Amino acid sequence: MKNEYHGHVIWSQVDANMHLRHSAYADFAAQARIMLLNDLGLDFSVFQKLQMGPILFREELQYLREVGINDNIKILSFLTKAREDGSRWSIRHDLYRGDGVKAAVINVDGAWLDLRQRKLTGLPLEVATKFMEVTKSEDFEALTA
């Protein structure tokens, strides 16, 4: 399964210090997650039909090195924790600069929201099976209910 996303830092993503602004790291990680789902065959049309979508409880960014304008970035995404049914999960995104240096680590904890009832929900079995194909980290932890 593909767990790699590539992007390019543009002018609107830099701050006054001429490096990638703090919220742009989260934006890149969010896009990496969307592409991860898409690569599994779980594009947003699937979630629209199910009237559900991903929701985050926590997003944590650790900045390691500066990323500058016009830099190419690569994000590797890993499932670090999950319930067996995929209803609750954690994903780590390792963001690398174009020169291969790890520049940031973004950790998120999430679940699935029923858009009609506005409550947390589980995934249908077929969707859960696909979601659990996300590349797992070396320290992956199976969560219990």
Name the DSSP letter for residue 132: T
User: pLDDT tens per residue, the chain (145 residues)?
Assistant: 578 999 999 999 999 999 999 999 999 999 999 999 999 999 999 999 999 999 999 999 999 999 999 999 999 999 999 999 999 999 999 999 999 999 999 999 999 999 999 999 999 999 999 999 999 999 999 999 7
pTM for the full predicted model? 0.95
Q: How many domains does the chain have?
A: 1
| Domain of 23, in residue numbers | 4-111+130-143
Give alpha helix (H) positions in the chain: 22-39, 44-50, 125-131
Strand segments, DSSP code E, in the chain are 4-8, 52-63, 72-83, 88-96, 102-114, 119-121, 136-143
**Could you tell me if residue 116 is inside a domain?**
no
**Could you tell me if residue 117 is inside a domain?**
no
**Could you tell me if residue 54 is inside a domain?**
yes
**Could you tell me if residue 124 is inside a domain?**
no
**Could you tell me if residue 84 is inside a domain?**
yes
**Could you tell me if residue 119 is inside a domain?**
no
**Could you tell me if residue 38 is inside a domain?**
yes
**Could you tell me if residue 120 is inside a domain?**
no
Which pairing describes strands 102-114 and 88-96: parallel, antiparallel, or unpaired?
Answer: antiparallel
CATH number for 99: 3.10.129.10
Contact 113, 123 (CB under 8 A): no
